[in-house]
Structure 1
Amino acid sequence: MSKKLKVVTIGGGSSYTPELLEGFIKRYEELPITELWLVDVEAGKEKQDIIFDLCLRMIERAAVPIALYKTLDRREALVDADFVTTQLRVGQLKARELDERIPLSYGYLGQETNGAGGLFKGLRTIPVIFDIINDVKEICPDAWVINFTNPAGMVTEAVYRHTDFKKFIGVCNIPVGMKMFIKDVLKLAPTDELNIDLFGLNHMVFIKDVIVNGTSRFDELLDGVASGTLTAGSVKNIFDLPFSEGLIRSLRLLPCSYLLYYFKQKEMLAIEMGEFYKGGARATVVQKVEKQLFELYKDPALNVKPKELELRGGAYYSDAACEVISDIYNDKQSEHYVNVPHHGHVDNIPADWAVEMTCTIGRDGATPTPRITHFDEKVLGLIYTIKGFEVAASEAALSGNFNDVLLALNLSPLIHSDKDAEKIARDLLLAHEANLPNFAQAIAALK
């Protein structure tokens, strides 16, 4: 073996880690990892221990020479790291439940990456990501940080706006899911070459072209999605609640499923309020699934990623993350859909924005594709609105100022009353006090 290749996964006790490891095992010939370190915090130690034992069994079954380590000391793990992946959830799933239930109690969408819930997940997450980056800069400055902690767009924006760290790429599974959907509905063969022109912000992306073996098949795809005649087989249909035919045909773009929160606000809120009144929320479901997963993971006979992990959501995360790492390591110059600053590549948005778009990835990181230099004007207003929200949120995460939180909340198109924004901000700040040290002063003033 030519040299050591060390990967550190922060949030190693996550239920997703077996999928990540499966991705590394599958690619071992091209990505010969010698060390994989799982890092977590004291509150995640029990889960980390269970995950570590399962991963040991998976490595043994695959007979690959990956040395596996676990630690609660992040700085110890980072020594000589080549890649650092971040998949953390500050406050764990109980915090997500608060993010969902408190806005719903006021009649607003509660969601972990959009609106009030997304804002507060960002407020808890951004300072932790900055601490990690400071450690990386000191201990392993040449390492790449591959982030798939949500809200990925807001986190990437904050990193590039407020630090000088350049080796940071935000990864999301939504574009990969869209790609799998396209392969499925167009019945593409493994040998077919598929290129997708995708642009926007994280959880707000649009597809403007789909090119198969050099020929655009976008009209066929658009027509099939609009009319409902295209159905997915092996891939769960990403359009669980279909967009209207009129919207798809008038946009002449394919929106990702998260755009339901903007184009179908009324319907999405009605669904979530119905769940809320029955005492549920998405976080409640996820906690049940996670509990079942960890019971499975404890089984000493289990030595593969269980099928049940797909119920957790976040399918294809490992493919997204492992492919990006492999393409940097092997300088592949392959197509991916990631969150990075475009540095003026797109001519009708500010040059310093971090966006999610089709990029080519190699040893120097991500370069936006030459095929997209202009964002479609029809959706530019919505993109500007959400970017304004992301920028304000990243400022608030660092300032710890109550008024900065209010500004971000009021800029979200999912919040419709300045008075309600104050109540929601107050309740969420108080509820998350333990995980918002930056806001200690602001929270004390609210008590």
Structure 2
Amino acid sequence: MKKHAITIAGGGSTFTPGIILMLLEHLDTFPIHTIKLYDNDKERQDTVAGACEILLSERAPEITFVSTIDPKEAFSDIDFVMAHIRVGKYKMREQDEKIPLRHGVLGQETCGPGGIAYGMRSIGPVLELVDYMETYSPDAWMLNYSNPAAIVAEATRRLRPHSKVLNICDMPIGIEELMASILGLKSRKEMIVKYYGLNHFGWWYDIRDKEGNDLLPRLREHVAKYGYVTKDKSKQHADASWNDTFAKARDVQRIDPETLPNTYLKYYFFPDEVVAHSNPAYTRANEVMDGREKFVFSECQTIIDTGTARGTALHIDEHASYIVDLAKAIAYNTQERMLLIVENNGAIPNIDPEAMVEIPCLVGSTGPEPLTVGPIPPFQKGLMEQQVAVEKLVVEAWVTKSYQALWQAITLSRTVPSATVAKALLDDLIEANKAFWPELS
């Protein structure tokens, strides 16, 4: 079995140690000879890399480890790029959340004005990673799960249409693990799911076991009562704000009881409630900075100081194994069925063929083969067309440096009450993002 070389772009991320632990867990089915970390923040990456180097030396000393800020070194002679960059880091995420809240609008990382601001920051750097990969390792594939995935996917579709980039999100996978727990199954892989939507904006409409038995009625009954909250507390998120979101799925599902919703739909259907329950002085970004951020960097520093990773509390995010499954599908042509963000191209015939939709695909060595969904109902069609227009306008604004297009995008978001509010919001976001966005005119 061929051994692979991996570059993790965003090497200073708090998620990087978990990704490396996950890769180590799967070495028997996805062997690796080299892991490289790449980031443009050397100081931050050095802390993560210092810990990861010790961890690898103890658990897989045969793997070559490289930490670098040099694109040529990072992207040469590799098979896969796993990209999870956060442009502006958590300090800018804090602005994405707090600026909208000052205007009485939802403040969220990937939805609404915050997601649009983050998208405007992310497009250029993600394209830069694609270009590095194609320059130094033209046969490599990029598995991109940098947020906001919908806007990034539209940008790569439009601006790098022939690149080997697969845009993915592990949120549906996390929800499917909760579904498996609800059903008493060992793994989501015991289910065959049918799903359609956009990233953070979709619905399950058919779920069966391997024998073809319909599992949807049992799941609908549970979600109607409890949302995605399960008896197995180990499946729930450590943060209360996430568990509120899992519970809120109960209300989201009532809008279309025949399907099961992605949890992020709560931000589009109940933005007023989310704002009412938000603390404009302490948002999710603050939770992460005070929680995960401090924990991971403290653990990494402890490993460096003690010279060993034995007994570390760093851990794998279980649903992150999806990334390895995707790499294996490409490397070994497994034809595994997976949810990916791909160009619609007729899979959903009654919406824009150039929309970047999230649907099941069969994945092999040539990439994804999207499966046909068929026409979708008017409710979902209307919602998706509106959101697709938002995403396309954001990319248009970035490409043409158009203030007008970005004002239109924010106005069109279901989370924003009026064009007047949208303009005031945009002006504040421009000020906060001067170091990141192209200058708009």
Give the structure-1-normalised TM-score. 0.90
Alignment-derived partner of residue 240 in structure 1 = 246
Displacement after TM superposition at 1:164 (Å): 2.6
Give me the whole-angstrom Cα distance separating, in 1, the residues matched to 2:265 and 2:255.
Answer: 15
Q: Take 1:32 and 1:430, find their aligned partners in 2: how far apart are those partners?
A: 47
Given that 2:338 and 2:360 are in contact with CA atoms closer than 8 Å, whether structure 1 keeps it comes out as yes
Cα RMSD (Å) of the superposition? 2.2
- 1:337 aligned residue: 339
Match of 2:296 in 1: 293
Unmatched 5+ stretches in structure 1 = 443-447
Query: C-alpha offsets along residues 98-146 of structure 1, whole Å, 9 cap, x if unaligned?
Result: 1111111111111111111100100010011112222222222211111
| Residue aligning to 1:47 | 44
Q: 2:195 matched to which residue of 1?
A: 198
Secondary structure at 2:354's aligned position in 1? coil
Change (3 A) 1:333 1:108: same
CA shift digits 1:255-293 (9 cap, x unpaired): 111011122222111111xx11xx211111111120232
Alignment match of 1:187 (pick from 184, 187, 191): 184
Q: What CA distance in whole angstroms lies between the structure 2 residues aligned with 1:178 and 1:242?
A: 13
Residue 117 (structure 1) aligns with: 114
Taking the TM superposition and a 5 Å limit, the aligned residue runs for 1:16-165 are 16-41=15-40, 44-63=41-60, 65-165=62-162
Q: 1:4 to 1:32 in 2, by over 3 A?
A: closer
Distance apart, 1:4 and its partner CA = 5.2
In the other structure, the counterpart of 1:173 is: 170
**Deviates most, 166-175 or 142-151:** 166-175
For the 8 Å contact 2:21–2:315, the answer to whether it is kept is: no
SS at match of 1:69: strand
Q: 2:223·2:253 contact (CA, 8 Å) conserved in 1? A: no
Please identify, of 387-396 and 230-239, the stretch whose mean Cα deviation from structure 2 is larger: 230-239
Partner residue, 2:218: 220
SS in structure 2 of the partner of residue 34 of structure 1: strand
Normalised by the length of structure 2, the TM-score is 0.91
| Deviates most, 237-246 or 423-432 | 237-246
Work out whether residues 21 and 55 of structure 1, in 8 Å CA contact, stay in contact via their aligned partners in 2.
Answer: yes
User: Aligned partners of 1:319 and 1:83: how far apart in 2?
Assistant: 15
Q: How does 1:249-398 map to 2 (within 5 A)?
A: 250-272=256-278, 275-276=279-280, 279-289=281-291, 290-300=293-303, 301=306, 303=309, 307=313, 315-316=317-318, 318-370=320-372, 372-398=373-399
Q: Distance between the aligned counterparts of 2:122 and 2:189, measured in 1?
A: 39
CA distance in 2, matches of 1:171, 1:194: 19
**Alignment-derived partner of residue 445 in structure 1:** none
Instruction: Report the AA paired with residue 383 of structure 1.
Output: M
Name the SS of the counterpart of 2:202 in structure 1: strand
Q: CA deviation at 1:64?
A: 5.2
Go from structure 1 to structure 2 and tell me whether the alpha carbon gap of 1:374 and 1:64 turns closer, same or farther (over 3 Å shift): farther
Q: Give how far 1:77 is off.
A: 1.1
Q: CA deviation at 1:198?
A: 1.3
Contact 1:20–1:317 under 8 Å retained in 2: no
Displacement of 1:390: 0.6
Report sequence identity in percent.
Answer: 28
In structure 2, the residue corresponding to 1:392 is in which secondary structure? helix
Equivalent residue letter for 1:263: F
SS of the aligned residue for 1:240 comes to helix
More off after superposition, 130-139 vs 411-420? 130-139
Aligned in 2, Cα 1:308/1:101: closer, same or farther, shift over 3 Å? farther
Deviation at 1:309, TM superposition (A): 6.3
Please give the secondary structure, in 2, of the residue aligned with 1:150.
coil
- In structure 2, C-alpha distance between the alignment counterparts of 1:249 and 1:392, rounded to whole Å: 27
The total of aligned residue pairs comes to 428
Q: Which moved more, 1:298-307 or 1:407-416?
A: 298-307
Aligned-residue offset at 1:39: 0.4
CA distance change for structure 1 residues 63 and 127 in 2, over 3 Å: closer, same or farther? Answer: closer
Sort the Cα spacing of 1:96 and 1:190 in 2 relative to 1 into closer, same or farther, 3 A: closer
CA pair 431-223 structure 1, distance change in 2 beyond 3 A: same
Which string of whole-angstrom CA distances, capped at 9 and with x for unpartnered residues, describes residues 342-367 of structure 1? 32222222222211112221111112
Question: Secondary structure, in 3 states, of the residue corresponding to 1:242?
Answer: helix
Is the 1:22–1:305 contact (alpha carbons within 8 Å) kept by the matching residues of 2?
no
Kindly state the Cα deviation for residue 3 of structure 1 after the two structures are TM-superposed: 5.0
Distance change >3 Å, CA 306–CA 257, structure 1 → 2:
farther
Q: Report the residue type matching 2:391 in the other structure.
A: E
Q: Distance in 2 between matches of 1:112 and 1:405?
A: 17
Residues of 2 paired with 1:250 and 1:94: CA distance?
A: 37
Judging changes above 3 Å, is the alpha-carbon distance between structure 1 residues 309 and 382 closer, same or farther for their aligned structure 2 residues? farther
CA-to-aligned-CA distance 1:158-214 (integer Å, 9 cap, x gap): 111222334111111211111101110100145973111111000011111111122
- The answer to which of 301-310 and 255-264 deviates more is 301-310
Determine helix, strand or coil for the equivalent of 1:355: strand
What are the Cα deviations for residues 382-441 of structure 1, in whole angstroms up to 9, with x where unaligned?
1111111011111112222211211111111111121221111111111111112x22x6
Query: What is the distance in 1 between the residues matched to 2:324 and 2:396?
Result: 31
Q: Post-superposition shift, 1:217?
A: 0.9
Which residue pairs with 2:8 in the alignment? Answer: 9
Query: How has the CA–CA distance of structure 1 residues 164 and 250 changed in structure 2, closer, same or farther, with 3 Å as cutoff?
Result: closer
Q: Label 1:410 to 1:11 Cα distance change in 2 as closer, same or farther (>3 A).
A: same
Describe the SS at the equivalent of 1:434: coil
Paired position in structure 1 for 2:240: none
Which residue type is aligned with residue 322 of structure 2? A
